[in-house]
Amino acid sequence: MMRRTGWSRREWLAGTAAAFGAGCAPAGEAPAPFADADVGDAGESAVALPEFEPRSMLHVSETRVEQPRFPVIDVHTHLTWSDVPLGPDPFGERIRKLGEPSAVLPVMDRKGVRTMVNLTGGVGPGLMVARRQFDEAHPGRFITFTEPSWNRAADPDYPRFQAEQLERDHAAGARGLKLTKTLGLYLREQITSGPLVAVDDARFDPMWETCAALNMPVAIHVSDPEAFFLPIDRFNERYEELHAHPDWSFHGSDFPSNAELLAARDRVLARHPGTTFIGLHVGHWAENLAAVGEALDRFPNFHVEIGARVGELGRQPRGARRFFEAYQDRILFGTDAIPSPEGDATPQQVFGDALYEIYYRFLETEDEYFDYAPAPVPPQGRWRIHGLGLPEPILRKVYHQNAERVLGLAA
Ligand SMILES: [Zn+2]
């Protein structure tokens, strides 16, 4: 992955590694390099795992879906990024563009994407810059969400400040609130030190309630793939990804478990029934659709979005199809796309024609065993996916109708 100067998305979430002292596997416990693996009798002919790119010999139909059956609202994109989330400067007041509208719009037009929702639009002046460059310059094509001011979370008057800041950002045009996994996994009592702040900490209650009062949906991301909470060893199904990015692991240290994070989220959903939540990445548990279904059953204010998880959904196509049938009014289309020419998108986030065509093929066709990301090696795990072949009424809801309702847009 290319590195640029300044902050990566991961650093943005984590603050500096030194400040947190957690999140990176200690050097002494780093997983063994691939070359050290026991190659058995294969000897000289053994191929190192990163170089292994098997090509399927299946003769199965390949459908290219260049345009979606119905217009699309992509509710999960990152067109801007705030640079100093937990540092000394007010969060979100400096905003960085990840893509130019002039580069993004032609892809949207070619791929039938009517509107993109930029979730990471920052706060205050940063939000205004983001909106000016996207929403206001191209009406109807872009929608921007705001974010909490994490760096003030230790202030005694934070609950009131945050509620009022939301009101100011709503007045400035923000249509929703985005929570990264900063809450639950990075934000600490003294911002960058002390114990982690729980997802259901009471200081955020006025924020959730203000979202309800202003009809601002909350796009929330807590937790991460289950494998990120397990040791990085030969049994870990995302070994290659975690081996390349050991700081993505939440195994050990003082991180809560996946189950604890989701239980705290559920307490928030229960406590704020008037607030509409969009659980990003299939409710952050695409590996367990039964559990996501239970959450959708329990909480009428909960919805899910599919960004960066067609790899999970498509490897369980029969269960996924049943999930889409059962919850067709609660699932929103999203990609987690990042149109950054600087390369801070993971392979499954690279904005472009190829990305959208994979999603459309997955949702619309019954093609079998195809790649879930435009990358030579499957980035999240070495498997391929199968299309769902969803019927038109469900496609219409997932592509745009559910998003129109949740975002309060005219159809
Ligand atoms: Zn995202």
When pLDDT is cut at 50, 70 and 90, the band that residue 50 belongs to is: confident
Q: What whole-number distance in Å separates Cα of residue 128 and Cα of residue 134?
A: 10
pLDDT at site 233 = 96
Section 212-237 average pLDDT: 96
CATH architecture assigned to 71-407: Alpha-Beta Barrel (3.20)
Spatial separation of the C-alpha atoms in residues 324 and 205, rounded to whole Å: 31
Query: Is 54's pLDDT higher than 80?
Result: yes
Residue 80 Cα to ligand 1 midpoint, Å, equals: 11
Q: What is the mean pLDDT of residues 121-141?
A: 95
Query: Does the structure show a pLDDT above 60 at 195?
Result: yes
DSSP classification of residue 360: H
Separation between Cα atoms, residue 197 and residue 183, nearest integer Å: 7
- Does the pLDDT value for residue 252 go beyond 50? yes
Of 2 and 47, the one with more pLDDT: 47
Q: How far is the CA of 257 from the centre of ligand 1 (A)?
A: 21
CA of 273 to the centre of ligand 1 (A): 24
Output 376 or 244, whichever has higher pLDDT: 244
What pLDDT does residue 344 have?
75
Ligand 1 mean position, distance from CA 114 (Å): 19
What distance in angstroms lies between residue 12's CA and the mean position of ligand 1's atoms? 13
Task: Give the integer Cα–Cα distance in Å for 132 and 136.
Answer: 5
Q: Per-residue confidence at 37, pLDDT binned at 50, 70, 90? A: very low
Q: What is the mean pLDDT of the chain?
A: 88
Q: Residue 109 C-alpha to ligand 1 middle, in angstroms?
A: 22
- What the block records as the tokens of 294 is 């239970």
Handedness of CA 242, 247, 248, 250 (dihedral sign): positive
First to last CA, the chain: 40
CA of 285 to the centre of ligand 1 (A): 15
C-alpha 76 to ligand 1 mean position (Å)? 6
Determine which of 35-44, 76-85, 233-242, 261-270 has the lowest per-residue pLDDT on average.
35-44
The secondary structure of 49-107 as a DSSP string is: GGG---------------S-SS-EEEEEE-SEEES-SSSSSPTTSSEEESS-HHHHHHH
Please choose, from the candidates 318, 322, 289, the residue with its C-alpha nearest in 3D space to the C-alpha of residue 306. 289
pLDDT band at 208 (very low <50, low <70, confident <90, very high): very high
CA of 368 to the centre of ligand 1 (A): 27
Q: Give distance in angstroms: CA of 283 to centre of ligand 1.
A: 13
What pLDDT sits at residue 137? 98
Give the pLDDT confidence score for residue 14 in this predicted structure: 46
**What's the 345 CA to ligand 1 centre distance in angstroms?**
10
Could you tell me the distance, in angstroms and rounded to a whole number, from the CA of residue 336 to the centre of ligand 1? 4
What is the helix (H) or strand (E) element at residue 331, kind and residue range? strand 331-332
* Residue 142: predicted pLDDT: 98
Distance 119 CA to ligand 1 centre (A): 7
The predicted model gives 187-207 an average pLDDT of 96
Percent of the chain with pLDDT over 70: 86
CA of 60 to the centre of ligand 1 (A): 33
Contact 129, 135 (CB under 8 A): no
Distance (Å) from CA 163 to ligand 1 centroid: 23
Phi-psi region of 124 (alpha: psi -120 to 50; beta: other; left: phi over 0): left
Least confident of 12-26, 72-86, 156-170, 289-303: 12-26
Residue 42 pLDDT class (50, 70, 90 cuts): low
pLDDT band at residue 376 using 50, 70 and 90 as cut-offs: confident
Whether the Cβ atoms of residue 199 and residue 222 lie closer than 8 Å to each other: yes
Which of the pair, 106 or 11, is modelled with greater confidence?
A: 106
pLDDT the model gives residue 287: 97
Separation CA 273–CA 242 (nearest Å): 36
Domain parsing of the chain, residue ranges = 71-407
Burial class (CB in 10 A: 0-12, 13-18, 19+), 56: exposed
pLDDT the model gives residue 356:
98
Cβ 99 vs Cβ 79: under 8 Å: yes
Nearest to 130 by CA among 79, 181, 176, 55: 79
Cα–Cα distances in Å, from 234 out to 68, 227, 231, 249? 39, 12, 9, 15
Ligand 1 centroid from CA 177, angstroms: 13
pLDDT of residue 9: 44
Q: Degrees (nearest 5) of the Cα angle 78, 146, 185?
A: 75
Task: Give 57 Cα–ligand 1 centroid separation in angstroms.
Answer: 34
> Ligand 1: distance of its center to the CA of 79 in Å?
10
The predicted structure's pLDDT at residue 84: 47
pLDDT score, position 40 = 53
Of 79-93, 223-237, 364-378, give the lowest mean pLDDT range.
79-93
Distance 77 CA to ligand 1 centre (A): 6
Q: What pLDDT score was predicted for residue 17?
A: 31
Predicted local confidence at residue 23, as pLDDT: 30
Count CB neighbours of 287 within 10 A.
Answer: 17
Rounded distance from Cα 78 to ligand 1 centre (Å): 6
Q: pLDDT tens, 313-352?
A: 999 999 999 999 999 999 999 999 999 876 678 889 999 9
What is the C-alpha radius of gyration for the chain, rounded to an integer number of angstroms?
21
Q: What is the pLDDT of residue 340?
A: 84
Phi, psi values for residue 96, rounded to 5°: -120, 130
Cα(403) to centroid(ligand 1), Å: 16
Helices (H) and strands (E) in the chain, counts: 16, 10
Strands 142-144 and 113-118: parallel
Q: What is the pLDDT of residues 83-129, one digit of tens each?
A: 645 554 444 467 888 999 999 999 999 999 999 999 999 999 899 99
